[in-house]
Structure 1
Amino acid sequence: MKPTKMRNNLIYQATFQTKSKQVASPLSKELHKKYGKRSVRVIEGDSVKILRGEFKGVDGKISKISTQKNSVAIDGVKKEKTKGDKFDVYIHTSNLIVTSLNTNDKWRILKLEGKDPRKQPKTQAETVKEESTKQVPKETKVEKTKKEEKDE
């Protein structure tokens, strides 16, 4: 099989897990120095700057992600149809640079810093949450019948 055909198969027939990894953009110089990584998988809420294309130089936050197209929709980047309707323009992630990260996901930030998220100490809120979600073991039918006999 020709190399170009192999490459196309790897790109266009990739599994969802592989496609998800391909939706990545390079980090800005400041973030690159801070985290020691060149690129990161983009998520909704990251601030990016467009480097190429019709909307070059535009800054905005990511509003939607399309793993199928390896591209993202950015707030404020829209085109207008002839009837006046506006629609999102999807921009390939290779044409973007991440200027600030969405820090809601603690797991993602720990991975970026090079730490193992599984070995991090849990916060007090997380331990309380885990305790509240633990289920109390249910009584068996035999125990219930014994209790009913005692009541009578």
Structure 2
Amino acid sequence: MRELCGFEIEPEVRKWLDDLSDSDFKRVDEVAGLLAEKGTELGGGLGGIDLREAGVMVGYHTRWVRPEAPAEDPERIAIREALAFGKALYDRRTALGLSVAQLAERAGMTEDDVECIEEGGTAPTVPLLRLLAAALDADVRLTPGHDVGSLWFEAHAA
């Protein structure tokens, strides 16, 4: 088994990646890219290592060795928006010291629904943003772009 900068990809993981549908692979690729590029900003313990530069994002999985996907790919944009939404929700919830259960109760949702959003599995819709902003006593802020940081919840002015 070859190592890539101290990271080892097990055969089971390689097989799992190879067996993913194109849609699921895009999701994994976007999350891996986000972690590789912004891991330390997201609270990860990567110690400033850029995994793409380190070569971890290439190698065993041949689909990682390819030209960059067009930035306009609607499916990739939707994935990035869902990830940004999830991070924004997590950041505001933890800033308020709320548990997943407490936020779910405030919003009239299930804990699974809240966890799914925080994991980047739910697209941000206007009704959902309004519901969660009310539960978080916050306003929703958006900036141009689709990446993490392009959406956040901001506390109401006192």
Please tell me the TM-score bracket, short chain as reference: under 0.3
TM-score, normalised on structure 1? 0.27
Is the strand fraction higher in 1 or 2?
1
Which is helix-richer, 1 or 2? Answer: 2
For the pair shown, the structure with the greater C-alpha radius of gyration is 1
